[in-house]
Amino acid sequence: MSHTPEHETDTIYQSDQGQVADFTFDQAVARVFPDMIKRSVPGYAETVAMSGVIAGRYAQPGSNLYDLGCSLGAVTLAMRHGIHNKVADCRIIAIDNSQSMVERAGHYVALDEADFVADAAPVELACADICQYPLVNASVTALNFVLQFIPLEQRLALLSRIAAATLPGGALILSEKICFDDQEQRLQTDLHHDFKRANGYSDLEIAQKRSAIENVLIPESENVHIERLKAAGFSKVIRWYQCFNFVSFLAVK
């Protein structure tokens, strides 16, 4: 019988670490990830839920749906439920390069299968590099808060591979932390930090998390994202969601 993995409160940056190490999606982060992302990313729950709604509109019969950088599989399961009874013979492939994340995602998928009806779309989990993993016959791909961790020089190549694998009329959901011009950037950053404080993070935690992530998460502007999605091969790009400095785009081939 499957059991839900234990969720812990995110206390990773609660004590003074002196020299803060670069952020990684290791076992410690995997254990607290649901709490961390809920308290750190405004609008995350809506982004996950609407990924399922979008999948229900754009999934095509007999195609693959990809969740690239799937972490604990929240979007994977949202897509699975979003396409149920709407689209036949789909397969969902969830990929992450963190073994700790993939192992925990497996527990959630197993629990979902125990509770779900028999004809749900199958889910395949893989621990792999999304920049190398072969993509084929895709109708929907989710890349939620992942591209920002990919080196800048590799981002167009990844998006081009996704576009090339996408069926005509298929879609990419791209969610990212973005940056702005100086004046708006200050306000958006302040609002994001206010959001974190409202969720119980101390100023020390906010500062140390920022130090840990600043060399790992490299945000770009909305215009850069839109132009690159078009250069990669998507014909239509809209911003469908924004909460402070976190946005989600829908790119259709």
In a domain, residue 46? The reply is yes
In a domain, residue 240? The reply is yes
In a domain, residue 5? The reply is no
In a domain, residue 10? The reply is no
In a domain, residue 4? The reply is no
pLDDT at 1 over 50: no
- pLDDT score of 128: 98
Is 97 marked as binding a ligand? yes
In a domain, residue 13? The reply is no
Is 228 marked as binding a ligand? no
In a domain, residue 179? The reply is yes
Is 144 marked as binding a ligand? yes
Domain of residue 47, CATH code: 3.40.50.150
Render pLDDT for 90-145 as a digit per residue (tens, 0 to 9). 999 999 999 999 999 999 999 898 777 667 899 999 999 999 999 999 999 999 99
Is 181 marked as binding a ligand? no
Structural domain count, the chain: 1
Is 137 marked as binding a ligand? no
- 142 and 79 in contact (C-beta within 8 Å)? yes
Can you spell out the DSSP letters for the chain? ---PPPP----TTSS--SSPPPP---HHHHHHHHHHHHHHSTTHHHHHHHHHHHHHHH--TT-EEEEET-TTSHHHHHHHHHHTTTSSS-EEEEEES-HHHHHHHHHHHHHHHHHS-TTSPPEEEEES-TTTS---SEEEEEEES-GGGS-HHHHHHHHHHHHHHEEEEEEEEEEEEB---HHHHHHHHHHHHHHHHHTT--HHHHHHHHHHHTTT---B-HHHHHHHHHHHT-SEEEEEEEETTEEEEEEE-
Render pLDDT for 182-238 as a digit per residue (tens, 0 to 9). 889 999 999 999 999 999 998 888 888 888 888 889 999 999 999 999 999 999 999
Is 64 marked as binding a ligand? no
Range picked from 1-5, 39-43, 248-252 for highest mean pLDDT = 248-252
pLDDT confidence band for 18 (50 / 70 / 90) = low
- Residue 208: give the domain boundaries: 27-252
In a domain, residue 22? The reply is no
Is 31 marked as binding a ligand? no
Of the two residues 32 and 145, the one the predictor is more confident about is 145
Is 26 marked as binding a ligand? no
- pLDDT score of 34: 79
Is 35 marked as binding a ligand? no
